[in-house]
Structure 1
Amino acid sequence: MVHGMERNQYGQQVGAPVPHWSTRPLPGRGTLAGRYVTAEPISLRHADALFAAVCGPGNGALWTYRPVPQPESIAEFEKGVLRPLAEHAECTSFAFVPAGDRASGLATLSSCAPEAGVVEISGVLWGRSMRRSTAATEAIHLMLRYVFQQLGYRRVEWKCDSRNEPSARAAQRLGFTYEGRFRQHMIVRGRNRDTDWYSMLDTEWPAIRARNERWLDPRNFDQNGHQLQRLEEI
């Protein structure tokens, strides 16, 4: 060991050992329950509520950075969005149901690499009632808690179009670390996409979890539901 860096028998720097590591399980299709929102495995029974929440008038901007354009009918929504998510064998997608409401958001645990303990939170889409809400923050918190604490993953990724400023702000607010930009990463709906990568590690999660729990505590909100401290201030 030289200045905190480990070297092999050839004098080359090598990564820190990961003792007792084993391949982690793939995310399952169970329900994640929170105080403000419940994450349910997505299915066609969520079609009516989700279509109304994210495909109604005035929601076109939500689809700018998504791989498919805004569906114009429930049938198109089921075929192009819900069914692929519900039937994908290696991804787990959730419909988020705020307390006292119908499903109003969705997100996916994708790009799973159980052998390395890596998974991505992708496809986050909030209806109007969930945007910038306590339920939306808790929804991502529930996914992170599930991946880190129940499945034992080491890394969660968040990727977005480099021009998708709301997604980038959300990643930073939630505690993800910016890692860089993959230029000309893909072509989406006939346009170039540069992709910004963010990550969160298992070693960072305890502090982020504690911060999230302090913010989500009912004592952080007044009688009208307004936050007393912003998440960034905690």
Structure 2
Amino acid sequence: MTTPHKDEFGNPVGHPVENWQGCEMPPRSDMVGDHVIVSPLDVARDAKQLFDANTTAKDGGRFTYLPTRAFEDLASYKIWLDGMTSTNDPMLHAIIDKATNKAVGVAAFMRIDPANGVMEIGNINYAPALSQTIGGTEAMYLMMKRAFDELGYRRYEWKCDDQNAPSRAAAARYGFTYEGTFRNAIVYKGRNRDTAWFSITDTEWPAIRAAFEAWMSPDNFDETGRQRKRLQDLRK
């Protein structure tokens, strides 16, 4: 157990953060990986590709835990995207498959707090073409790398509906630590949401980054593309 820091009055306090001056807002520039490009969303460029990619799903179940329902037509989807891209927070990104050069998912930096070095990843929606792919994992890695390595953020958050088992599992797989559930946190779609909170801190990031990079290595996949080691096992 570490000895707590104390102030001049002998009261226990948090450890010092030397020379802290805050962080910058994320830039509106591409994050380029081997499989995907995570790019600030351009409605004219991305809307139709994203809409078409989502229509390949068998139903609208991917939107169950998102703030909106599945969009019935491209026009309504564009209106929503126009609103989402009109400000810097949330900062919505398209995830573009390098093999096809098509947008197949979205994710946003949001609740960005440069003064304290905290941001959240949210509004994640992967179309079937991106789900359970190396590129889908790489997209999360690239966004974390921007937050921690490029910008020096101290805390990176993931929040989801407590009932959203796939999202909770994804957070655990990516290395987020569960911190607790905020009860009666939100009312959306006419129902209550208890919100599960997860985070990664800057001190945890180096080990998590190493696991991502080991998992994405070509050596970790056999001739059929099957992984040899799971991402979560590489952190042990």
TM-score range, shorter chain: over 0.9
Is 2:32 aligned against 1:33?
yes
Given the superposition, is the C-alpha separation of residues 3 and 94 from structure 1 closer, same or farther in structure 2, using an over 3 Å criterion?
closer
**What's the RMSD between the two structures over aligned residues?**
1.3
Amino acid aligned to 1:196:
A
2:225 maps to: 225
Range with greater deviation from structure 2 (85-94 or 144-153):
85-94
Query: Normalising by structure 1, what TM-score?
Result: 0.96
CA displacement, residues 171-229 of structure 1 (integer Å, 9 cap, x when unaligned): 00000000000000010111100000000000000000001000001111122221111
**What displacement does 1:9 show?**
2.3
2:70 maps to: 70
Q: Is the 8 A contact 2:35 2:99 kept in 1?
A: no
SS in 1 for 2:103: coil
Q: Is the 8 A contact 2:57 2:128 kept in 1?
A: no
SS in 2 for 1:222: coil
CA displacement, residues 89-124 of structure 1 (integer Å, 9 cap, x when unaligned): 233211111221211010000000000000000011
Cα distance in 2 between the residues matched to 1:28 and 1:93? 12
Cα distance in 1 between the residues matched to 2:147 and 2:224? 32
Cα distance in 2 between the residues matched to 1:89 and 1:202? 23
Q: Is the 8 A contact 1:43 1:83 kept in 2?
A: no
> Could you list the runs of 4 or more consecutive aligned residues of structure 1 that deviate by over 3 angstroms after TM superposition?
none
1:186 maps to: 186
1:156 maps to: 156
1:106 maps to: 106
Gaps of 5+ in 2: none
Amino acid aligned to 1:18:
V
1:88 maps to: 87
Q: Is the 8 A contact 1:27 1:91 kept in 2?
A: no
Cα distance in 2 between the residues matched to 1:67 and 1:161? 11
Aligned residues: 232
SS in 2 for 1:87: coil
Range with greater deviation from structure 2 (161-170 or 89-98):
89-98
Amino acid aligned to 1:46:
D
Is 2:134 aligned against 1:134?
yes
1:50 maps to: 50
Amino acid aligned to 1:200:
I
Cα distance in 2 between the residues matched to 1:188 and 1:112? 22
Is 2:170 aligned against 1:170?
yes
Range with greater deviation from structure 2 (91-100 or 37-46):
91-100
Range with greater deviation from structure 2 (219-228 or 175-184):
219-228
Q: Is the 8 A contact 1:6 1:16 kept in 2?
A: yes
2:198 maps to: 198
SS in 1 for 2:14: coil
Q: Is the 8 A contact 1:93 1:107 kept in 2?
A: yes
CA displacement, residues 118-148 of structure 1 (integer Å, 9 cap, x when unaligned): 0000011100011111111000000000010
Gaps of 5+ in 1: none
**What displacement does 1:56 show?**
4.3
SS in 2 for 1:193: strand
Given the superposition, is the C-alpha separation of residues 85 and 104 from structure 1 closer, same or farther in structure 2, using an over 3 Å criterion?
same
SS in 2 for 1:104: strand
**What displacement does 1:5 show?**
0.8
Given the superposition, is the C-alpha separation of residues 57 and 233 from structure 1 closer, same or farther in structure 2, using an over 3 Å criterion?
closer
